[in-house]
């Protein structure tokens, strides 16, 4: 693959979209009083999109792009693992949604870096709906179907 001739405006758009997407997800995490929030998610998103754009600009081939994406996703997965805790005092695992969200914004930012707008927009919209209304749906389902109080997975933290 030869280097893509991206105009400065296109680069800024891709970076801004990634940063804004990460900040939106991070704002949700802030509103749910989670440790990682707007700044963390925004920075993960911005750096991920920047690395993706950098590979495009330097003319890396498809294998190089694949390796960069794999490295980003593995590294961010490790970062996300740092927010998962087993809380023996309340008998449950916390931080799973935050870990999944940080991994999600990294993947979403790769798509922003590649300029895949329809896919990026659809994924962001669906993810925000899940983050905003997922707990409400879970509680409704628990009331409707009856949750087993012994089941830790039914009481996963935010």
Q: What is the pLDDT of residue 3?
A: 62
22 is a domain residue: yes
Model's pTM, two decimal places?
Answer: 0.83
Q: What's the domain range around 150?
A: 8-155
| pLDDT band for position 78 (cuts 50, 70, 90) | confident
Q: What average pLDDT does the segment 43-67 reach?
A: 93
Number of separate domains in the chain: 1
Q: What average pLDDT does the segment 66-80 reach?
A: 91
Q: What is the pLDDT of residue 93?
A: 80
User: 136 vs 49, 95, 140, 142, CA distance in Å?
Assistant: 32, 18, 6, 10
- What contacts 24+ positions apart, CB below 8 Å, involve 1-5? 1/59, 1/60, 1/61, 1/62, 1/65, 2/59, 3/56, 3/57, 3/58, 3/59, 4/56, 4/57, 4/59
109 is a domain residue: yes
| pLDDT band for position 154 (cuts 50, 70, 90) | very low
3 is a domain residue: no
2 is a domain residue: no
1 is a domain residue: no
Q: What is the pLDDT of residue 148?
A: 64
């Amino acid at each position: 693959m030869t280097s893509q001739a991206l105009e400065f405006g296109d680069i800024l758009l891709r970076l801004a979209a990634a940063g804004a997407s990460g900040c939106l997800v991070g704002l949700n995490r802030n509103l749910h009083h989670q440790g990682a929030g707007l700044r963390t998610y925004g920075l993960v998103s911005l750096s991920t999109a920047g690395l993706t754009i950098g590979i495009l600009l330097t003319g890396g081939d498809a294998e190089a792009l694949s390796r960069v994406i794999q490295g980003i996703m593995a590294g961010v997965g490790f970062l996300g693992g740092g927010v998962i805790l087993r809380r023996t005092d309340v008998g449950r695992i916390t931080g799973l949604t935050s870990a999944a969200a940080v991994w999600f914004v990294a993947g979403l930012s790769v798509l922003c870096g590649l300029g895949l707008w329809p896919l990026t927009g659809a994924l962001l919209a669906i993810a925000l709906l899940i983050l905003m209304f997922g707990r409400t749906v879970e509680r409704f389902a628990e009331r409707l179907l009856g949750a087993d109080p012994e089941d830790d997975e039914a009481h996963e933290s935010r």
